[in-house]
Structure 1
Amino acid sequence: MSADGPTLAGLTVVVAGAAGASGVACVSLLRRHGAAVVAVGSDEGRLDHALGHLTEVDRRVCDLTDAPAVADLARALTAGYPSIDGLIHLVGGWRGGSGITGQSDDDYEALRASGLTTLRNTSRAFYAALVASRTGRLAIVSSTAVDHPTAAVASYAAVKSAAETWTRAVADGFRRDQQGVGGSDDAAAGPASAATILVVKALVDDAMRAARPDRAFPGYTHVDDLAAAVVGLYGSDAPAINGQRIILA
């Protein structure tokens, strides 16, 4: 590991939801640390606009709510790269409402599709590759709303909670499927891969700050700090972070 973080040369990391500010930050920092990066988004124009300046990044368009399409993507990437060593899931969104009765079905379904269905599809499709990796990492971004849900964000908090539960289940899968990866039957030898939950109150970027110079954004996590946390997962022992919630807020 260098003074600025781990060296990721030889690793391939898939960033899902790469066209947003957090995606750009993560893709940029992963590349800076030497990883090959596959940036996945649902809109080719948005991907090109956000990441076109990073010519060495492999940009792929995929509807991550479509399980067969995600499976096709995973097969293509697994065939095209020596290994798949990370899945950074940044797909999501935010919708609130006016109390419990104001949580509309449309908002709930949109949150479920973007925040949970895409995670289920991608983690299942890339699971075997992450288990096969000696340094596989799955990371999601969750919210402090899971710990302190309010009526106004009930649907959002519920979907985030479900995504956390799914991620912890993936972590259990890694632990079971990689038991003894160090060459022994001792469970302490594994896992080599880890599924981790990064928790924030909310995210902020430079454009948001520039648009609202009067606002302090208290407790918000800058997307660059999120990216640093993602890269830092590769400098941590997998058993220490597998299934863990890391609070960034």
Structure 2
Amino acid sequence: MTGLRGRLVVVTGAGGALGVETSRRLLAAGARVAAVDHRAENLEASAAEFGADYLPFVVDLLDEPATLAWGHELAQDHGGVGGLLHLVGGWRGGKGIVDADLADWDFLHDNLIRTLQHTSRALHDSLRASSDARLAIISSTGVAKPTATNASYVAAKAASEAWTLAVADSFDGSHAAAVVLRVMALLTPQMRADKPNAKFSGFTPVEQVAGALLALWDEPADRVNGRIVDLTTS
């Protein structure tokens, strides 16, 4: 394995707490980060902190032609892409099967599924051609036990898992791997600061998730490709 040093890793949803922590660790490991968000202001603080190896990009990942053009240009300009950590999130609660607002499904479909489809298609060939690429998403433990009040959310997460496992199948025979990491919920530093006495039972700190993402490069691709990893038990 060649590790992360010198690799260009795409982090989508880079302006969120997990995106920031993951970018920080990638840079510390010697990688370069192509940080993607839909708003420039979400990337400004990290760009100021992280320096020249942190490359901020504002991309509307719901616009497939724009995403394809950006992804192809990125791979061409940098001699390929060595990873895609798709951290675009979104959550909506529900009120049961009949009373749920299906507008929530539209939001979740776009944020959790469509953005993944567009980015994975844009970067697929570069990832597959890489010597040791990884694609990963963060999913939910709720997929294993859906509830009526969480139907739209877990359905969208299940679909994103299925897409990722299909990408894993397309990586068969290459040195790339696609992996699903599951959490019940993320715990951010801001959440701890806001509620210092809360226990956050079952929550997974973003630091732990970021560490698990980087650890995907510690094993050969054929050992991790297509795996679903539950971080609540690790």
Indicate which of 73, 94, 98 corresponds to 2:95.
98
Moved over 3 A (4+): none
Aligned to 2:61, what secondary structure does the other structure show? coil
Query: Measured at CA, do residues 174 and 7 of structure 1 come closer, stay the same or move farther in structure 2, by a change above 3 Å?
Result: closer
**TM-score, scaled to structure 2:** 0.95
* Whole-angstrom distance in 1 between the partners of 2:46 and 2:147: 33
Separation in 2 of the partners of 1:24 and 1:120? 22
Distance in 2 between residues matched to 1:207 and 1:232, nearest whole Å: 25
Q: Which amino acid aligns with 2:86?
A: H
**Do structure 1's residue 172 and structure 2's residue 169 form an aligned pair?**
yes
Picking from 103, 120, 135, the partner of 2:132 is 135
Deviations 1:55-110, CA, capped at 9 Å, x for gaps: 22000000101101101111221121122010000012110111112321211000
**What CA distance in whole angstroms lies between the structure 1 residues aligned with 2:88 and 2:192?**
22
Residue number among 176, 190, 194 corresponding to 1:207 in the alignment: 190
User: Larger deviation: 94-103 or 116-125?
Assistant: 94-103
Question: Structure 1 stretch 95-104 or stretch 30-39: which is displaced more?
Answer: 95-104
CA RMSD of aligned residues (A): 1.3
1:23 to 3, 13, 19: 19
Q: Is 1:44–2:40 an aligned residue pair?
A: yes
Range 120-129 or range 7-16, more displaced: 7-16
Unaligned stretches of 5+ residues in structure 1: 180-190
In structure 1, C-alpha distance between the alignment counterparts of 2:46 and 2:155, rounded to whole Å: 30
Pair 1:79 & 2:62 matched: no
When the two structures are superposed, what TM-score results if normalisation uses the length of structure 1? 0.90
Gaps of 5+ in 2: none
Q: Secondary structure at the match of 1:102?
A: coil
Q: What SS class does the counterpart of residue 134 from structure 1 fall into?
A: coil
Q: Which whole-Å deviations, capped at 9, do the CAs of 1:174-223 have from their partners, x for residues lacking one?
A: 00xxx3xxxxxxxxxxx310000001011011110110122111111111
Match of 1:230 in 2: 213
The separation in 2 between residues aligned to 1:11 and 1:103, in whole angstroms, is 43
- 1:131 & 1:237 partners in 2: Cα distance? 14
Aligned counterparts of 1:110 and 1:49: Cα–Cα separation in 2: 27
Match of 2:123? 126
Offset at 1:51?
A: 4.1
How big is the shift at 1:148?
Answer: 1.2
Q: CA deviation at 1:47?
A: 1.3
- Aligned twin of 1:35: 31
- Does 1:107 find its partner at 2:104? yes
